[in-house]
Chain A
Amino acid sequence: MRHLLSTRDLGHDEAVAILDVAEDMADVADREVRKLPTLRGKTVVNLFFEDSTRTRISFEAAAKRLSADVINFSAKGSSVSKGESLKDTAQTLAAIGADAVVIRHGASGAPAVLADSGWIDAAIVNAGDGTHEHPTQALLDAFTIRRRIHGSAARAKALDGVSVTIVGDILHSRVARSNVWLLSSLGAAVTLVAPATLLPIGVTEWPASVGYSLDAALAKRPDVVMMLRIQSERMHDAFFPNAHEYSREWGLGDERLRTLAADSIVMHPGPMNRGLEISSGAADSPRSTVLEQVANGVSVRMAVLYLVLSGMKEGQS
């Protein structure tokens, strides 16, 4: 794997292979020495133009567990605030000798620009770009679902027959997009539920069914309910009347929680708006995988960094 830009680029087998490597990485977390020498001497740059805590520290922990050197770069307090272009930043990182660049950017497609521009030879990993994609989040979600269903026998398995309902701000959500492509290529049946104002144009073309009513979707007893964060920083329009009404119609409250099937799970990519899209009762229930998702994120990102940074430099595919 040269770069990881989009889950659309991943075939079924490649996605399963990444999840299998992540299983091996997860085993390392249980060892006495939780560090592997694999990426010794490689430099990984975390290039974050947008705020992020969990994704950045997750990538940092992943790179450090593989013995890579990590340079954290956030746009605040850097030359970007003085007006430096993405090109100049990329060329600076190339001159420093970055082997991989993990990039989060507010503009959709920024990681692809970096990968195709020729400004830098490093492997590019998309850590969230605008409203486009967040592939490692989707991979860790798939990993979490697979582990919950298959336990320690998860290796080599896909998600055939698993029903996943994704609820909330689909319009702005790169997590939803990456999950739709990945989960459907792994064989899961994805349903999107949102107010009509928070569904993007063209959503009917996606490999997912679409509904407006959360209660109707939950009545079908999905195996997985994934709640998305209401992204107030991207809410520049009146998408719904008020928070209370959103919560009543599309929030996962204690009452809806009780209607879920016994072994179904509740996911949230974080950070959560408790009381808005998810109640504390749901977030802290045994069904909730929120903290598992964070822990699994490190294993999945270790797998991705290993796969983009190992292998021959010449003649790569």
Chain B
Amino acid sequence: MPARIVLQQADITRALTRISHEILESLRSGDDLVLLGIPTRGVVLAERIATVIREVSDVPVAIGALDVTMYRDDLDRNPTRAPSPTQVPPGGIDGKFVVLVDDVLYSGRTIRAALDALGAIGRPRVVRLAALVDRGHRELPIRPDFVGKNLPSAQTERINLHLEEIDGDEFVSIEEAAQ
């Protein structure tokens, strides 16, 4: 079965704009906002959300990248993964309002690893989770706070996210995984 496009570029932009506004609404006065993207595409999404927040408000926003490879519990079950750099924003994350940004939320294991990775670089005041797509099938008690699009899917299906900055085109598609 060919890939079916479920979100176009305009839909992705609209979803990210909505997530940005929701993040702003959830801030208390005095909160220091830090967006941490989970490589690779989460980092791009975090940058886009930061851009929107800077356009529509004067809330200062720090961005960084949080690699979770070394904290995964499935390293023995998959081919060896090459880690990506973790970039902690200059002000650190201690006492901050940290939003983890991921592309597709699935089993929740990446986020479990991210929470461990976060603990190694500091102690935020709160941690929230934003995901562009939530496809369900959680294996852990993890729930996103900001979701771009709920996309009910079968576990045999693959969700692909392409972003302009990385792939040269932009869409979310769903396809039957090759057996």
Contacts and interface: CB of A to CB of B under 8 A. Distances in A.
Nearest to B83: A24
Interface string B76-108: 111111111110000000000000000000000
B70 A306 contact: yes
Given A32-B120, A33-B119, A311-B76, A23 B70 contact: no
B70 A36 contact: yes
B78 A311 contact: yes
B67 interface: yes
Interface string A6-50: 000000000001001101100110011101111000000000000
The size bracket of the interface on B is 20 to 34
Nearest to B77: A312
A28 B88 CA distance: 11
A31 B77 CA distance: 28
Given A38-B70, A311-B76, A313-B76, A17 B82 contact: yes
A38 B71 CA distance: 6
Interface residues of A, number: 23
A36 B76 CA distance: 16
B27 interface: no
Nearest to A317: B79
B23 to A, nearest CB: 26
Contacts of A198: none
B116 interface: yes
A162 interface: no
A32 B122 contact: yes
Residue of A20, A311, A313 ringed by the most chain B CB atoms within 10 A: A311
B140 interface: no
Interface of A: 1, 17, 20-21, 23-24, 27-28, 31-33, 35-38, 66, 155, 306-307, 310-313
- Enumerate the 4 nearest inter-chain pairs by beta-carbon distance, A residue then B residue, closest first: A311-B80, A33-B120, A310-B75, A36-B70
Given A21-B82, A23-B85, A311-B80, 16 more contacts: A17-B82, A24-B83, A24-B84, A24-B85, A28-B120, A31-B120, A37-B70, A37-B71, A38-B70, A38-B75, A155-B85, A306-B70, A311-B76, A311-B78, A312-B78, A312-B79
